[in-house]
Structure 1
Amino acid sequence: MKYNTKQDTKIERFYENRDSLIIRLRKGEITKREYILLSHAFIVSSKSAPFETIDCVEKGMYNYQYYNTMAKYYKTLALDERGKEKHNNFHKTYLKECNYFYDEKDKTTFRLLRHMNYENIEAYFIEMESEKLKNVLYEVVLKEYKFAVLHSKSVWILNALKKQEVFSEETRKSVIDYYVNDLY
């Protein structure tokens, strides 16, 4: 892809940062928590915002990653506050933010899948160490794009994937198992 516009440059910088962090994470140079914090710091420092319209896969993935990063960042903050009695309001506030961003991520996932006409994707439940996530968390792989892996627990997206006959009932190991089964 040739980057000519300000939006294209925003996408290019975002992907360069993301790919670099993924490589560092896979090599063990940073932890999952550091990956989340560094991804969030990049979004904040670049004053990035999601695209209003998803008219290409790159914008859809950008929005997905934006919302996923924000959700995980607030989940990290909520986990830090959990159990601190006098800070219980912070815990609840962070969880509310986390859930808002996960909802936006799911809406983005749905828009992206519709944009792609549900073509060249694989979707399936993933093997999880967490009992709460077994047969709940599933993976959607965009087969033609490097590092294009989506995750969701959304029942309505799952139903759409099944309706489009692109969801496999078999449980598989995640293509990013090193990440999804790592605690933060």
Structure 2
Amino acid sequence: MAEYIEDFFEKFFEHKDDLNRQFHQGDISKKEYIEENYYKLMEMGQKPYKYVDNVFKALYNYQYYNMTGKFYKLRLREFEKYNKHPEKEREYYKKIQDCYYRKDQSTLKLLDLVDYYDVEGYYISVKSKDLKNKLFEIVVDSHEIKAVLHSVNPLIVEKMKENGIFSTKSKKSVIKSYINSRY
């Protein structure tokens, strides 16, 4: 991989790790965590990769779409709160759906790239009744990357079941304080 790409990934994931540490220490809220991630993505100027040929690009795309979707969700809530701009609400809702669709496509690509090896998936215990038995966690613990991903997409569950890496037994999330905090 070219040196400038390696440097980019190193800087991006170091920043993400720093924000994770700040969140888990209680220095920033979940809302601040999402906003800071989004602003860093925009500052770095790297759009999602169109050609994904390695796990770092797939994981970057996952993070890009996940954080962008969450950022849009924050903005949508602001519009809904005042109920003054229904057209903006519809626009942000569509953006959120698109981001989460692309996030799930990035997840599938990542799983393909690691060939479903060193991966574990399971439904997670959550406080939200709407997400119970829907939200699942994917833990990738390979020699190249360590990552925790989330989704509600049943297609991903089916693919993981086909590859024998999805447990139907619910577990606590490895990042339960983040999952169960509101924003």
Please report the TM-score for the alignment, with normalisation by the length of structure 2.
Answer: 0.94
Match of 1:151 in 2: 150
Are the aligned partners of 1:54 and 1:115 in contact in 2 as well (CA < 8 Å)? no
Report how many aligned residue pairs link the two structures: 182
Can you give the 5+ residue segments of structure 2 that lack an aligned partner in the other structure? none
Name which of 16, 20, 29 aligns with 1:22: 20
Change over 3 Å in CA distance of 1:40–1:78 after alignment to 2? same
Runs of 4+ with deviation above 6 angstroms? none
1:70-98 residue CA offsets vs partner (Å, 9 max, x unmatched): 11000111111114222222222111111
Match of 1:50 in 2: 48
TM-superposed CA distance for 1:4, in Å, is 5.2
1:114-139 residue CA offsets vs partner (Å, 9 max, x unmatched): 11110001100000100000000000
Match of 2:105 in 1: 107
TM-superposed CA distance for 1:14, in Å, is 0.5
Name which of 73, 94, 106 aligns with 1:75: 73
Name which of 87, 91, 94 aligns with 1:93: 91
CA RMSD of aligned residues (A): 1.4
Which sits farther off after the overlay, 43-52 or 65-74? 43-52
TM-superposed CA distance for 1:147, in Å, is 5.4
Percent of paired sites with the same residue: 34
TM-superposed CA distance for 1:162, in Å, is 0.9
Match of 2:179 in 1: 180
Letter in 1 for 2:61: N
Letter in 1 for 2:39: A
Q: Distance in 1 between matches of 2:137 and 2:116?
A: 14
**What SS is found at the alignment partner of 2:18?**
helix
